[in-house]
Structure 1
Amino acid sequence: MDVLEYSLIPLIVLCFTYLTWYYFRNKWTKSTSAPTNWPLVGMLPGFVHNAHRIHAFFTDILLETSSNFEFRGPFFANMDMLFTCDPANIHHILSRNFSNYPKGPEFHERFDILGNGIFNVDSELWEIHRKTTMSLMNHAKFQTLLQRNVWDTIGKGVVPILDAFAKHGTPVDLQDIFQRFSFDMISKLLLDHDPKSLSVDLPHVPCEKAFNDIVDAVLYRYVLPESYWKLQKWLRVGKEKNLMKAWEAIDKFIYPAISKRQVRLMNNNIKDEDHDFDLFTDYVKVYNQCTKGDNASKLGSLQDFLRDTFLNLIFAGRDTTSTALTWFFWLLAKNPLVEKKIREEIQQQLHLKEGENLKFFNIEESRKLVYLHGALCETLRLFPPVAIEHKSPVELDVLPSGHRVIPNMKILISFYTMGRMESLWGKDCLEFKPERWITERGGIKHEPSYKFPAFLAGPRTCLGKEMAFIQTKMVAATIIYNYQIQLVEAQTIMPTATVVIRMTNGLKVRLSKRVV
């Protein structure tokens, strides 16, 4: 050995001794779920150790620390964050001081696959997207188009598949069915293109499954050092490799669908009933109007604008609806009395006769299903599809909790934790009780968005809230009234460690046709 090697040995022994002492000191004195703040690496080891149960990990910490926790990352990684589920903070960030918390370039970089769609942009571009989408969804004929597409997808897709599985008595993954339903429905609504992923043989459709890889990768871009995931991206390995494949599959689906729709538009080959209202045509008109002014360079080409616009809407429509339905049916299977009440309400409010199956009801009739609405809200309270929201201030700010946040500091808001807070929902907050959403007069009880942020809050409140309830009610009522559902035993049910909380292993059930 040379002199340098001899000098390193005491240093290594000293470092090992110190870290060993530090570990046991914290182990003996530790009484909370908060991760240990190690020298040099901060709390990252505890974070990584709990990555598979990240939502429960956040919840354990936040419920022990009065709704706010300051996470310390490695000194070299710029990973210091504030975890919060404080309603006052959320109201401040998402509503009162909204302008100080834009998506920002960092968010755009992590969600780069979404391009310049509504979820990824700020200022003028966001206002263009929001104004356009809101205008189209408020159009008198939008609900007619939505209703037609939902029932078409249920009748030609969901029912034949469930009938086939019920006939053979084989297990089916309801989460897979709901993902396929949502993907096909939103694709037909926006692009007038049926991907046919919801067929009896359950074909593998690369684009439909690509969305799972997107949400799997994005959370890791937040919880791991930026240099780490960027290295994975450069090497094309791990979750970044899956994300690249997902990106390719999505573009192979969406660009040809757009081109095909453009050809039909140029040839004026549009259905008669759509002449005065067509989502694709209206988005093209918006692009043409906007590119006459200062936004031309920001919007890019027409193809890219349509790709980003529709991808964002498909992403929202596919994942949130399917996730809500999956958790709803799991909760329902655990609460048979709730299921019985929903069936009774369906029969009474839709005036179904004895022995009559449920086949169709319109949007106005869906609003009469108050108890079903409450059960869906209760599902969204416990399992909000988007479980985590990321924000960063542009300027120095002091939150209502007293925490001082500096520019570009990461703030992670846990919506998942909020549904488990006794201070918000009472001591029965972990119970599934649709009744908490129903007023004494029998109407739907509305909660402020900073208490129930399943559809976000403030100016970025989800535009598809009404659309989501319409879809889920139609699918849920059809299945509940026409089928008996039994959970397959010995399956592990837990949320994925992702931004959108799917079930890790799906939801396996056995179906049988219900004798009405």
Structure 2
Amino acid sequence: MMMAICSTAVAFIFIIVLSLGCYMILKLRCRSSDDKVVPRNWPLVGMMPALLKNAHRVHEFATDVLKHSGGTFEFKGPAAFANLSMLATSDPANIHHVLSKNFSNYPKGPEFRKIFDILGDGIFNVDSQLWELHRKTTLSFLNHAQFYTLLQTNVWHKVEKGLLPVLDWFAEEGAEFDLQDVFQRFTFDAISKLVLHHDPESLCLGLPYVPCEKAFNHAVDALLYRHIFPESFWKLQNWLGIGKEKKLIQAYRAFDEFIYSALKRLEERMMMITPNIDNNSDDHHLSLFTAYVQAYKQQEQPQAALLTTTTTTKFPRDTFLSLMFAGRDTTSSTLTWFFYLLAQNPLVQANARDEIENKLNLKQEIKRFFKLEECHKLVYLHAALCETLRLFPPLAIQHKVSTAMDVLPSGHLVKPNTRIILLFYSSGRMDSIWGEDCMEFKPERWISGNGRIKHEPSYKFPAFNAGPRTCLGKEMSFVQMKMIAAIILHHYEFQVVDSHSVSPSDSIIIQAKHGLKVKFTKRSM
């Protein structure tokens, strides 16, 4: 088997070399190659030369191609690797069709689980009964009467003990720092505390290195490349422990060490509270770990029969890792781009700050932590966050594989086992969807005539996915983001040090590639 993988990898390396050769020839023949947006389908290598040329700006490249192709484009991979061909789309009708109307024809499937094997049998990787179980038990936790009280307590604890001391120190020192790193640490600590009852305190003075916290960045960086290269190629890299797969292996180990240790502490805590799993105390009931234990004990079918790639002992690890991915990366990414866009749009920043101070009565108060009910008053701030999510959705792409023949609303034929790539990043940048001003940062587009948030269908605004798999933590994300954004805008003035260096990362999560370097100063109250 190893010989087969090696020979396939050698063939792919040959394709890459040939693709680079085609690219160099193309560059010599046509100096103004940027004028030709739609990639050429070369013999043997397909459209790989254009992809290699634009690997450093893959999301912008995909957006440019879709703009010139009516929102849907068939990418042809090398002839020797049929699975690298794919149908890419940002068309709202197609997104609605795939994620909702014909949902059953586009499951996650085995190919998706191979690419995202690091998530095992977590909610993002599975279909059918196991996905239903994840969804049911997670919803029961999010809908608990005390959940948002717990969330509010956790957020303010992290603000008071972590965020404000760190930002105060940077402001007093007049030092430049990476705001994205601060947000990632905040959300990592917060989601760990929420689902694992453990605060790793990565956000504190000194900004200590916590392997698990940094492992998320390494993981999302590598996972995009698994979409582009053949399975045999990245599996060989994984076996050799080289390239981006090396970082993924290291991330895997860091996740295991962190989560298994936390789970052991949770189990010990459960035994100390009571040996009875049906205990109804708040502490016991609010444990997400307990919710999953209860759910699986109640299953008529044995838990092991539902699992696809993991054992029952590994299942809790997969469960909580998936929730931590959702809780850390989506919120931190949105907040990073939110503050970047505010720095570029001073009027929007001023409007958001005025709303915060007037509607929350903060003008005369140096420090006050407001309740989550007050967040609902912040309509303009909510609109600005929606506008950020339109331009920089945390999840850049969604990957699907068809099970049967189908025809998309755009008229494109879908054969069985066709790779469908839904490009959410491109969706928010299409003038055919959002108008000629689609590249402008305008929170006003989200506010209706009655002063409320305007609803946009999820297939037009897929930042939280769409259809049955719509993100369960959407409301939780908005609450957390508004709390953090409001407290920062009330306490500090800020400026981006070098806006020209800020660009989207080439990963499945739209992070700032080189971080967001800023300077903070305390506001005089």
Q: Using structure 2 for the length normalisation, give the TM-score.
A: 0.91
Query: Which protein has the larger Cα radius of gyration, Structure 1 or Structure 2?
Result: 1
Higher mean C-alpha displacement, 454-463 vs 22-31: 22-31
Higher mean C-alpha displacement, 463-472 vs 480-489: 480-489
Unpaired stretches in structure 2, ≥5 consecutive residues: 1-17
Superposed CA deviations along residues 447-473 of structure 1, whole A, max 9, x for unmatched, are 000110000000000000000000100
Say yes or no: does 1:177 pair with 2:187.
Answer: no
Say yes or no: does 1:244 pair with 2:284.
Answer: no
* Aligned mates of 2:269, 2:141 — CA distance in 1: 21
Aligned to 1:311: 321
Match of 2:349 among 332, 339, 342: 339
State the secondary structure of the residue aligned to 2:164: helix
Unpaired stretches in structure 1, ≥5 consecutive residues: 1-14
Shift in alpha-carbon separation, 1:370–1:360, aligned structure 2, 3 A:
same
Shift in alpha-carbon separation, 1:493–1:25, aligned structure 2, 3 A:
closer
Aligned to 1:40: 44
State the secondary structure of the residue aligned to 1:70: strand
Shift in alpha-carbon separation, 1:323–1:21, aligned structure 2, 3 A:
closer
Q: 1:39-118 to 2 correspondence within 5 Å?
A: 39-78=43-82, 79-118=84-123
- Please report the RMSD computed on the Cα atoms of aligned residues, expressed in angstroms: 2.2
* Aligned mates of 1:447, 1:96 — CA distance in 2: 17
Superposed CA deviations along residues 257-314 of structure 1, whole A, max 9, x for unmatched, are 1011101101117997524433222122112223x52443334555312111100000
- The one-letter code matched in structure 2 to 1:238 is G
Shift in alpha-carbon separation, 1:50–1:268, aligned structure 2, 3 A:
same
- The one-letter code matched in structure 2 to 1:108 is R
Superposed CA deviations along residues 309-367 of structure 1, whole A, max 9, x for unmatched, are 1000001100000000000000000111111111111111112243x124311111101
* Aligned mates of 1:483, 1:313 — CA distance in 2: 31
Q: How many residues align?
A: 499
Aligned to 2:8: none
The answer as to whether partners of 2:22 and 2:49 remain within 8 angstroms in 1 is no
**Deviation, structure 1 residue 408:** 1.2
Aligned to 2:197: 192
Say yes or no: does 1:464 pair with 2:469.
Answer: no
- The one-letter code matched in structure 2 to 1:47 is L
* Aligned mates of 1:365, 1:149 — CA distance in 2: 17
Superposed CA deviations along residues 233-260 of structure 1, whole A, max 9, x for unmatched, are 1211000011001000110100011011
The answer as to whether partners of 1:95 and 1:458 remain within 8 angstroms in 2 is yes
Say yes or no: does 1:149 pair with 2:154.
Answer: yes
- The one-letter code matched in structure 2 to 1:45 is P
Higher mean C-alpha displacement, 368-377 vs 78-87: 78-87
Shift in alpha-carbon separation, 1:24–1:486, aligned structure 2, 3 A:
closer
The answer as to whether partners of 2:375 and 2:483 remain within 8 angstroms in 1 is yes
- The one-letter code matched in structure 1 to 2:64 is D
Match of 2:304 among 296, 299, 317: 296
- The one-letter code matched in structure 2 to 1:114 is L
The answer as to whether partners of 1:485 and 1:512 remain within 8 angstroms in 2 is yes
Say yes or no: does 1:350 pair with 2:326.
Answer: no
Aligned to 1:505: 514
The answer as to whether partners of 1:32 and 1:61 remain within 8 angstroms in 2 is no
**Deviation, structure 1 residue 489:** 3.1
Q: 1:21-32 to 2 correspondence within 5 Å?
A: 23=26, 27=30, 31-32=35-36
- The one-letter code matched in structure 1 to 2:403 is V
**Deviation, structure 1 residue 512:** 0.7
The answer as to whether partners of 1:171 and 1:510 remain within 8 angstroms in 2 is yes
Shift in alpha-carbon separation, 1:150–1:427, aligned structure 2, 3 A:
same
Say yes or no: does 1:360 pair with 2:364.
Answer: no
* Aligned mates of 2:260, 2:48 — CA distance in 1: 40
Superposed CA deviations along residues 390-421 of structure 1, whole A, max 9, x for unmatched, are 11110011101111111111111111111111
Match of 1:452 among 461, 466, 476: 461
Aligned to 2:425: 416
The answer as to whether partners of 1:43 and 1:71 remain within 8 angstroms in 2 is yes
* Aligned mates of 1:411, 1:201 — CA distance in 2: 44
* Aligned mates of 1:478, 1:443 — CA distance in 2: 22
Say yes or no: does 1:212 pair with 2:217.
Answer: yes
Shift in alpha-carbon separation, 1:260–1:20, aligned structure 2, 3 A:
closer
* Aligned mates of 1:492, 1:241 — CA distance in 2: 27
The answer as to whether partners of 1:68 and 1:82 remain within 8 angstroms in 2 is yes
* Aligned mates of 1:24, 1:306 — CA distance in 2: 51
Q: 1:118-137 to 2 correspondence within 5 Å?
A: 118-137=123-142
